[in-house]
Amino acid sequence: MAGCALAALDYALGPDPQFPVFYAPAVIGAAWYSSRTTAVTLAAWVPLVHSLLLALLWRPGHWAGLLATTWLRGGAVLLVGVWFRRLATYEVTMSRHIQVLEGLLPICAFCKSIRNNAGEWERLEAFISRRSEATFSHGFCPSCQRTHYPELSQ
């Protein structure tokens, strides 16, 4: 549907548009919200339709230059579309890895348990594990090892 609207707009603008502004946002939107294939198809389809319009309907005297310009502009829009797709993929990947714990956490000064929204105290590890994709492994920091297990420090 959007491709047909772009073709109609291309026809209305005539054989020598100054810049492919009217279809660059469509390619960027397709890259961001759909897929790389959709963006590449749209970015290649519009110059192809423009070329067909040049050859079949408009037939300007300097069609070779217009044809080259059409494909160069289409290539630039294609590169922008591919770049936006990579950026969108990166954003999705990063949002899957980042989960934020916000606000004040009431934590016990001794055992480090956290009081949850129900008012119950739960271990720090369980609290964080339920709210993120983090997993825990346990060990001793050098200071605690010297304090609690001095025989292991030698």
Please check whether residues 70 and 131 belong to one and the same domain.
no
What pLDDT does residue 120 have? Answer: 92
Does residue 38 lie within any of the structural domains? yes
Please check whether residues 75 and 13 belong to one and the same domain.
yes
Please check whether residues 8 and 62 belong to one and the same domain.
yes
What pLDDT does residue 2 have? Answer: 63
Following CA atoms 65, 70, 73, 76 in sequence, which dihedral angle do they give, to the nearest 10 degrees?
Answer: -110
Instruction: Calculate ∠ Cα 123-127-130, nearest 5°.
Output: 135
Please check whether residues 6 and 60 belong to one and the same domain.
yes
For residue range 59-72, list pLDDT tens digits in order.
Answer: 666 667 777 777 77
Does residue 104 lie within any of the structural domains? no
Which of 67, 97, 127 lies at the terminal end of a domain, its last residue? 97
For residue range 101-120, list pLDDT tens digits in order.
Answer: 667 788 998 888 999 889 99
Does residue 108 lie within any of the structural domains? no
Does residue 119 lie within any of the structural domains? yes
How many structural domains compose the chain?
2
Q: What's the DSSP call for residue 19?
A: S
Please check whether residues 30 and 68 belong to one and the same domain.
yes
Query: Contact, 112 vs 124, CB < 8 A?
Result: yes
Helix, coil or strand: residue 106:
coil
Does residue 12 lie within any of the structural domains? yes
Please check whether residues 93 and 119 belong to one and the same domain.
no
Query: Residue 87: pLDDT band by 50, 70, 90 thresholds?
Result: very high
Domain residues for the domain of 52 are 2-97
- pTM, two decimal places: 0.54
